[in-house]
Chain A
Amino acid sequence: MEQSGTSTRLADAVQGLTSELVSALRSGGPFALAAAVSAADGPAAVRVVGADAVLPSVLRRTPAGPDDLAVFSGAVRAYPPPPGASPTSVWSHWAMKRTLLRLGGTLDAPHDGVPEHNGSPEHDAEPLATWLDGASWQSLTHQLAVLAPLAVPGGDCAVTRVARGRPVDVARGFVRAVRRRDWLQAAGAGRWLVLLDGVPDTLGLEAGLAFVAQMGCADPRVTLQVEAARLMRTGAPV
């Protein structure tokens, strides 16, 4: 019962954080991660949302506050991928580390509230993307959608290079996800497609994103992906 209660609390925290992120992306107003999560469930919720927990700062290139970076850094430190973790788990954690460092944060625990130093290069060592070698377009799209936080302007890495090489396959995966009413996967795939060259015009990506947003509006995670895609498409600095 306790487990169930904890799960529900975490789900609520994730939903709350996601909704705050959507509001910030839509309004363009300030976003304070530290204020959007509680001390109890915050780190876990941030780990679930991943690098997107600071998406407004990333897409708008606005600095994140020290309190926000401390919360974000705490989640990175608290939930490293366990041995044998899935590639998506490893990559999602790596995306958080990279984002933290790019925003000027540190991976080290603060002493007396003052960061000791910035992350060293080994913190940023990129995982391998070999698990995507030869992946079917169906599987590729699914994996990319799970790793949607990697789909940010200028976010070059092995996964984005795989995606760039297979725009038609990701577009097919988008079609598949919409047909299956898998709005979260469709939204994640749509976010990737915004960043890719060579997406067939006949896909109707812009209308597709609007359609996914409308059909999947009950889930703020869907809305977050679509808002991210729209911002990248229309105005975020690249």
Chain B
Amino acid sequence: MTSTRLIHTVGTGALEWLHAHRDGFRLEQDVDPEVGFLERFKPVGELALICKVLFREGVAGSRQAQLARQLIDHAWRDTLDGGRMLLRGQRIEPLSPIPFEVYLPFKELGYSHPEAEQAFRLNQGLESFHAFELPPTRRLGLSAFQRRFGLPARPPESEVIGRTWLGRTPEPWTVEGHIAYDITHTVFHLTDWGENPDGIPAPLVDYLATWLPAWLDDWLDLERWDLLGELLVVDACLPHPTLDERAWEGFAAAQQPDGAMPAVRTMPQGDPEELFDLVYHPTLVAAFASVLATSRALTQLAHAPA
């Protein structure tokens, strides 16, 4: 059985790194229009989502909770300028769902920007917003976020699931990197990022429980840590997580002494900003997987016979 301590330590290390490098969560005010102002919002939204998971699961130590609080405060106050950057982004691209997607976890954590909310409500009432062409997994996530925000989910999530790759339970031996990310994100959206494991329909639970071990094995051997971390999150979202010992040990061994997690194989080289952009995501994923798996391990412990 995988050591809960090992799983937990991956998360504490990851959070230390994210906190120490929090200035990496930055927007580019004078970005080339070809790149787009919203390009750098994604990391901020992901950070908020992970911090929310951390607060929710309640398995963080006091130092972890303090670091997470400082991180999320920094992101809201400094990076997003108290939400004003979200409003600015929405005005630049009224139909983009990105400012809304970034805002939601902040709102759920108690931050608020009424003017931005007003813009979201107005723009999401447009028929064009619903006609906006998005891949099914992304659309599923948007519907879930609409529900969480208190807006009607258009279309309802139940209508979108069947359009995702996972929802069709195809041949498991055809899974490659992009498909695997679609699978992990479908699970994140169906479970509200691990909060509601019952949100995965039973046939998909069976499918994942059957084939996830084969995918974990594969991406562990390929040393694709970012994807492996996301698959470990999926495992922790299932009713009976395996907390795969070999995968967790490999994942933990790939983590750097300062807590950074390389995306693939070993740590890349580059200046601090480049380096941040390359490893912030796998490091966030490491924190996410660790918190969820630690929580599940403790649940298993609580239910184990004395």
Contacts and interface: CB of A to CB of B under 8 A. Distances in A.
Nearest to A180: B218
Contacts of B170: 202, 204
Interface of A: 137-138, 168, 171-176, 178-180, 186, 200, 202-204, 207-208, 211
A202 B173 contact: no
B173 A168 contact: no
A178 B173 CA distance: 6
Interface in B83-110: none
Contacts of B217: 138, 176
Interface residues of chain A: helix, strand, loop or mixed (majority): helix
Given A175-B172, A179-B175, A202 B211 contact: yes
Contacts of A203: 171-173
Contacts of B118: none
Given A175-B173, A202-B171, 12 more contacts: A168-B210, A172-B211, A176-B217, A179-B173, A179-B218, A202-B170, A202-B172, A202-B207, A202-B210, A204-B170, A204-B172, A211-B171
Interface residues of chain B: helix, strand, loop or mixed (majority): helix
Contacts of B214: 172-173, 175-176, 179
A166 to B, nearest CB: 13
Nearest to B218: A179
Contacts of A175: 172-173, 211, 214-215
A137 B175 contact: no
Nearest to B219: A179
A67 to B, nearest CB: 42
Interface string B162-178: 00000001111101000
A211 B174 CA distance: 10
B199 interface: no
Interface in B215-248: 215, 217-218
B213 interface: yes
B212 to A, nearest CB: 10
A203 B171 CA distance: 5
B215 to A, nearest CB: 8
A96 B169 CA distance: 40
A142 B21 CA distance: 45
Contacts of A172: 210-211, 213-214
Contacts of A171: 210
Contacts of A176: 214, 217-218
A173 B217 CA distance: 10
Contacts of B206: 200
A171 B209 CA distance: 13
A137 to B, nearest CB: 7
Contacts of A211: 171, 173
Interface in B242-287: none
Nearest to A201: B169
A138 B218 CA distance: 11
Nearest to B211: A175
13 contacts: A172-B214, A176-B214, A178-B173, A180-B218, A200-B206, A202-B210, A202-B211, A203-B172, A204-B170, A204-B172, A204-B173, A208-B171, A211-B171
